[in-house]
Amino acid sequence: MQTNISLASQGAGAIVTYQSEVLLVQLNYGPAKGHWILPGGMIENGEHPEQAAIREVKEETNLDAQIESLISVRHRIDQKGRHNIYWVFLAQIDHKNPKPLLKWPKDEILQAKFWSFNEAENDSMVRPMTKVFLKAYKKHNYWSKIDIPHNHKYNDHAYL
């Protein structure tokens, strides 16, 4: 009898806006080095996707964020047959002027900055899936977190 074993990695990122602009980070590693994406990264063991998105925004931009809703979930099977699931959330920041607060780890990120949506959607250095997530955001079709019954024994999250 064959046992089913999940062989998927997961990541999470966030759309962070400020005055009609969106926060993007420029990669400093891998085949997409120099390209711009949403702040985000891999989910750590025992971490919920929204916790990972908040942590990654902080690590990659120095900004404190709170999750508002779920924008999208992307599933990918790479050339080696490995699955990857990526959660994209809408996050809000409390900072009145976040631009001077932006800091990033130089080994991972070349820079972080706020872009106009039009500029981000039309720049060839912004990754294609980032553009897809931005279009989903602009459609205002978000999934909101719902309450889980208090007697449920796990710390599940659900979105509708």
Phi, psi (degrees; rounded to nearest 5) at 74: -115, 130
Cα dihedral angle (23, 124, 136, 45), rounded to 10 degrees?
Answer: -60
The pLDDT value given to residue 11: 97
d(CA 43, CA 28): 20
Other Cβ atoms closer than 10 A to 143: 15
Residues 93, 100: Cα–Cα separation, whole Å: 14
Note the pTM of the prediction, 2 decimals: 0.88
Q: Please give the distance of CA 160 from its chain centroid, rounded to a whole number.
A: 19
- pLDDT given for residue 154 in this prediction: 62
Render pLDDT for 90-123 as a digit per residue (tens, 0 to 9).
Answer: 999 987 889 889 999 999 999 999 999 999 999 9
Between CA 45 and CA 132 the distance in angstroms is 28
Inform me whether the pLDDT recorded for 150 exceeds 80: no
Q: Tell me the sheet residues that pair with 9.
A: 84
CA distance from start to end of the chain: 36
Identify the structural domains of the chain with CATH numbers, from first to last: 8-159 (3.90.79.10)
Number of CB atoms found within 10 A of residue 33's CB: 10
- Tell me: pLDDT of 81 over 90: no
Which pLDDT belongs to residue 156?
67
Nearest to 102 by CA among 14, 39, 34, 28: 39
Note whether 53 and 16 are within 8 A (CB): no
